[in-house]
Structure 1
């Protein structure tokens, strides 16, 4: 990189490693900060005021000056070479004082346009313990809008590529001891073996570390911006003594879930035990690392028909063997609703067949019979436990089924409109239908911390539960889920498919839920299309585990 290929080393002294981890070239930006901003005096290596995109030469010179200044221990000079000197200066100081970086080697690479990659080989020293920390990063040079000078675009990820907005590096003895999380059979659960569990394990440590009997060691971690967010350990400097924490998870089911979601982008799955509510697996395959399986909130599509069917049967407005007209279209509240590909069913088709074929119109045509705008919301809360503030042991989002009128009520009957769910919520719907009784999902037994567990107001009437299960079994044997569920071993199985239209999306979200014996699972693939196309194979793989 134009003579900047040598690493800068200062043994035992703070070394400049302020490389920006801005990913990709940036367009013109205004200088941030107050006072001198990125135009501060002393930036003698900067070029005169320019215009247009930053050139390769300007990017190389600015990056070299920046890394040299940091390598020389001149944090002020390094900060002046960025477009946010105030934030940069604080981060440089914290890197030494609070992250305990005792020395570092920074080796720039060849620039690609305005982006300059570099490698960092640092040493973290705290409490008499030292360990190396190595990683790759990159910085991007942009032109200051007011000065025209090339400046390093400052981002939190400049300090470390995993840092987000408001996050910092910290070294020391963490407030919570490490935990050794194990599954229901005593098998250890680690983020290395089960990557989807990383955010869950971090939360378990934060919540239960002090209760599990461990002893803290020394670590380097990422301090989150939000107070209730868990710390993320980057490096263990001195081993603590982990406390033992038993979860409800099942390592074999978790392994199958991890493998299944890896087949599809933006995929999530959850599995629970209907007889107890124990969460058996949580897995996600997403670019953003978000635990959508437990915290997501998306329209669940026709998987919601499990609740709608139970409500209609409960109120005597439908029955498995009763006729249920399934036309190509139906209107309600000034809006027209149609079935997938505008299909219809022959005259005399039963409600069970409409459920198994996922006929929207056979459900919407019954709204007028119910005459209660809050009927679906009541059924969801009173029987299925939706919206009762689940305390699973880690962060989770409750499903929402608000009362609605007009077209919104019709949309709610088929899992659209204002209804939101995540795979854990939908897996619980299936579990409740399977047993006729709601068991709030948990990942940690409530007797560990005495937290309250949500309890539904009433159980499902036996006759209602029998009919809903019968319809789910028909869906699995001869309905929209037949192809997928044909791959699931066993005979005690049922399912429901779903696809949910999302505004602005080119393809609907794919939803699928099913049970097999004493296991219920649900999956969602954003933009995955029909329920059986993407979410279905994920659920089948989990149920077969």
Structure 2
């Protein structure tokens, strides 16, 4: 009986070995020989050791090279998701002849190089790239497994993405700036996602002819929209069509250089007289276009809209009272000023604006209606209606009618208020000219888009805002950053605290003559620390 039982156990283990894609041999030996002293299989815990990392990656790479998606996926901790993408790799993407060369492991992380061939409709092209993976311990199997991420298959893949090869969804475009200069992702890296989106939207309007490409196809969003395909490799060139944009190659170059000095930074420049977008630049590890799509509390840069609200609702004027106490309480929440700011009970709105006194604005929460700030943002500055048609996707700002402590917090750009650098550049442009011009990145006439509209500001309100912003730039919190800039200038600094983050976001917005720019640096500190120098550089060199 005992031998018979052992035979059954061995047979069962063999089945597991064959069907379980590499179930550890140490478990097999322990179960048969009773090495744990109790007859149960020994379970390994803790991070995989070097031999396990080598074994798991070797088996995964071997199956991937053979095009065996199911087996390769079985060596990961999320086999269903892995199999779907690996099957598309050899199927819809038509990638074959795969050769993977692992590099030297650094603990549980293994870098590797992939060389393969993409073949479609009689055309073949080599494909080469680098990626990496991490090996983890399976939660229930306790096996060493590849920690599944789409980036394992290609470093530019994210959750929900897939790969496909075929005729381009849209012809290539040759995007040109306002002076006819060609804009490329190689020369202007921040424009990569924008150029992809412009191609998706306007490629078939420019007279071009589709080519054959390997692309990343992105997941459909909850609202039914889809981010434009990201081209990885061209197998057969089409004929690009020329697409005019409002961008300025010189301003874009300045913006690209400016954000490189500060991690997690974004900036947008617009022309106040027209709303034309001159430059969009990001320097972010995640590749997200926060300049156009970011949703962050704008801090004290919001005081431009708040000051306009106070003036337009008759609460005060630039030269009217806006006392700056050391603290202010609104519905049991206490608000403070920046460290070192001296209180001034006799301050005017212009004084408190230039010094960026939070408590001065919070004190007006008793007088303004819950929806006053919302109405000002929507009706005067064109924000928060989700109807901007700039030519590519954008976030249009959010200023909800919030009650409770958020009524006061909204006045200083906190609470539920959310903005992007594009939004604040537009706010600055409206304050400068008194007119709201919805930002655009391609001419409206190209596809007959109807722009968002707003009433704009009265000449009296606009004049007071310009005077306060000019004072801020010349002798207020922005003076150090704006020093040396001639012409008609104005600015507003800002910093925004974000839950769970050690440092505040740095915000700064300003104008010089017919250029307005706004920047945001996540975890950048005060407005003058990071965002300010970015904006000043753009204003100095992008006229």
Q: TM-score w.r.t. structure 1 length?
A: 0.88
**Contact 2:425–2:516 (Cα < 8 Å) also in 1:** yes
SS at match of 2:76: coil
* CA–CA distance in structure 2, aligned partners of residues 536 and 42 of structure 1: 58
Q: Which residue of 1 aligns with 2:461?
A: 464
Q: Which residue of 2 aligns with 1:164?
A: 158
Q: TM-score w.r.t. structure 2 length?
A: 0.88
Structure 2 gaps of 5+ residues are 1-13, 28-42
Q: Which residue of 1 aligns with 2:521?
A: 525
* Structure 1 residues 87-121: Cα deviation after superposition (integer angstroms, max 9, x where no partner): 44444432222212242322223333333332111
Q: Which residue of 2 aligns with 1:485?
A: 482
* Structure 1 residues 444-464: Cα deviation after superposition (integer angstroms, max 9, x where no partner): 1121112221100x2311111
Residue range with higher mean Cα deviation, 284-293 or 313-322: 313-322
Q: Which residue of 2 aligns with 1:539?
A: 535
* Structure 1 residues 335-374: Cα deviation after superposition (integer angstroms, max 9, x where no partner): 222211263344533221111111122222233344x222
Change (3 A) 1:478 1:88: closer
Q: Which residue of 1 aligns with 2:174?
A: 180
SS at match of 2:204: coil
* CA–CA distance in structure 1, aligned partners of residues 320 and 445 of structure 2: 46
**Contact 2:23–2:143 (Cα < 8 Å) also in 1:** no
Matched, 1:123 2:114: no
Matched, 1:341 2:319: no
**Contact 1:38–1:144 (Cα < 8 Å) also in 2:** no
Superposition CA RMSD, Å: 2.2
Cα drift, residue 46 of structure 1 = 4.8
SS at match of 2:519: strand
Cα drift, residue 72 of structure 1 = 4.4
* CA–CA distance in structure 2, aligned partners of residues 481 and 394 of structure 1: 32
SS at match of 1:544: helix
* CA–CA distance in structure 2, aligned partners of residues 85 and 401 of structure 1: 43
User: Out of 462, 471, 475, which is 1:474 matched to?
Assistant: 471
**Contact 1:47–1:150 (Cα < 8 Å) also in 2:** no
Q: How many residues align?
A: 507
Q: Which residue of 2 aligns with 1:51?
A: 44
Q: Residues 315-394 of structure 1 correspond to what in structure 2 (within 5 A)?
A: 315-341=313-339, 343-370=341-368, 372-388=369-385, 389-394=387-392
| Higher helix proportion (structure 1 or 2) | 2
Q: Residues 206-285 of structure 1 correspond to what in structure 2 (within 5 A)?
A: 206-226=200-220, 228-285=226-283
**Contact 1:37–1:84 (Cα < 8 Å) also in 2:** no
* Structure 1 residues 365-395: Cα deviation after superposition (integer angstroms, max 9, x where no partner): 233344x222111111111111132111111
Q: Which residue of 2 aligns with 1:395?
A: 393
Q: Which residue of 1 aligns with 2:32?
A: none
* Structure 1 residues 231-271: Cα deviation after superposition (integer angstroms, max 9, x where no partner): 11111111110111111111111111111111111111111
Structure 1 gaps of 5+ residues are 1-35
Change (3 A) 1:334 1:235: same
* Structure 1 residues 494-531: Cα deviation after superposition (integer angstroms, max 9, x where no partner): 11111111122211111111010011111111111111
**Contact 2:268–2:519 (Cα < 8 Å) also in 1:** yes
